Amino acid sequence: MHVFVILSLVLVARQVASQNWNYQLSSQMPNVCSFQRRFVTYERQPERKAITKNVRVLQPGCLRPRELCYTSQLRTFYYTMYRNQPKIEFRTEYQCCQGWSQYPRRSGCSLSSCTVRPCLRGGRCTGSATGCRCPRGFQGSQCQYDMDECKTQNGGCEHNCCNTVGGYYCTCNAGYTLQSDKKNCLDTNECNNSNGGCNHTCLNLPGSFQCRCPSGSTLAADKKTCTGGTASRNSGRGGTGATINGGVIRERPHPYYQQSRLSNSCNNRNGGCEDICKETYYGVMCACKPGYSLARDFVSCKGLWIVIVFMSFSMR
């Protein structure tokens, strides 16, 4: 008796386990989407066809022997045949919307995808079709993929965009400096740092610089030192190099020979110079006659003979 009861319970348990506890989906259930499924069916359709052939026909009123009274005539016969004609049909069916699945013994689709597959990278489950709400820099149904920000408008970087896991950063080409916004790049003026190492003139260029020499001198193999002409004589005391920055030429101070800031030609009021005006490759320069030195305004001249006379009288 006990064995019979145990066997009955086992059979009932198997039957219960084999049953599908999911409800049939319908449009009124939550998170259920409809779609059209395409079916191909075949219908048997009749088709009438004709065939023509020669047949033996007995001639009416023939007086000859019967065998000689037959003649051949063309006659058309009709028959019906059937063929399978394909027919396309669409049926409306229902399934769980994207990101949702059925929960056993519950109506509709109430199980979110991120409940089954948890969110990664610190993502948060939204409980909706979108699944996980990913943090910045990640994407995917589980936030499992890194987002390459550099593929969209170079990440907003002016020069180079470097993608990292969950982020990115911008870099600049050689000769440029990254600005405070971490995206734009500004040209580095190498001439502001020890004249760029140039012996004479430093010319700032976008992303680079060049050293140049005055007329009569040539640039050495190191691309910085000037040889020949006045450059070699001035190289021991620093030269008279100029720095060109944004189109503005700034001349280095040199005894008795400074640049005038008032004019670009000596024909215009002597270039603003009080005494001697000279036009050079870099602009107008003011100078003074022997016995005078250029004042701090780089235009006026001040005398030195008073000092010389005083020294001569004191030596007697």
**pTM for the complete prediction?**
0.41
Cβ-Cβ contacts under 8 Å for 214 (sequence gap 6 or more): 200, 201, 226, 229, 230, 231, 240, 281
> Which domains does the chain possess?
32-93 (no CATH), 149-187 (2.10.25.10), 190-225 (2.10.25.10), 269-303 (2.10.25.10)
What per-residue confidence (pLDDT) applies to 4?
59
Q: What is the pLDDT along the chain (316 residues), one digit of tens a residue?
A: 555 556 665 565 555 444 445 678 888 888 889 999 998 988 888 989 999 999 888 888 887 787 788 888 898 989 898 989 898 999 899 988 877 788 777 788 877 777 777 888 888 887 665 678 889 899 887 888 999 999 999 999 999 999 999 899 999 999 899 999 999 999 999 888 888 889 888 888 888 888 988 888 888 888 888 887 654 444 433 343 343 333 333 333 333 333 444 445 677 778 788 888 887 655 677 888 888 888 877 788 887 644 444 444 444 4
What per-residue confidence (pLDDT) applies to 185?
94
Closest CA to 81 of 52, 48, 38, 55: 48
DSSP 8-state code for residue 154: G
Whole-angstrom Cα distance, residue 145 to residue 141? 9
DSSP 8-state code for residue 108: S
Asked if residue 277 lies in contact with residue 268, where contact means CB atoms within 8 angstroms, the answer is no
Please spell the DSSP secondary structure of 258-279, one letter per residue: EE-SS-S-TTTGGGG-SSEEEE
Q: How many CA atoms lie within 13 A of 308 on its CB side?
A: 6
H or E segment at 235?
Answer: none
Q: How many CA atoms lie within 13 A of 20 on its CB side?
A: 6
Whole-angstrom Cα distance, residue 41 to residue 89? 7
What per-residue confidence (pLDDT) applies to 59?
84
In 79-199, where does DSSP find H-type helix? 113-116
Cross-strand pairs, 279: 284
Q: Phi first, then psi: give them for residue 135, nearest 5 degrees.
A: -70, 170
Whole-angstrom Cα distance, residue 29 to residue 31? 7
Helix (H, G, I), strand (E, B) or coil at 245: strand
Whole-angstrom Cα distance, residue 24 to residue 67? 79
Cβ-Cβ contacts under 8 Å for 299 (sequence gap 6 or more): 260, 261, 262, 272, 273, 274, 286
Whole-angstrom Cα distance, residue 270 to residue 272? 5
Count, residues in the chain: 316
Closest CA to 111 of 184, 32, 168: 32
Strands of the sheet containing 201-205, edge to edge, are 208-212, 201-205, 242-245, 248-251
Instruction: Give residue 174's identity as a one-letter amino acid code.
Output: A
What per-residue confidence (pLDDT) applies to 171?
95
Cβ-Cβ contacts under 8 Å for 33 (sequence gap 6 or more): 94, 95, 96, 97, 98
Whole-angstrom Cα distance, residue 254 to residue 293? 11
Cα–Cα distances in angstroms (integers) from residue 270 to residues 74, 230, 255, in the given order: 127, 25, 20
Helix (H, G, I), strand (E, B) or coil at 60: coil
Cα–Cα distances in angstroms (integers) from residue 287 to residues 216, 263, 267, 277, in the given order: 21, 14, 15, 6
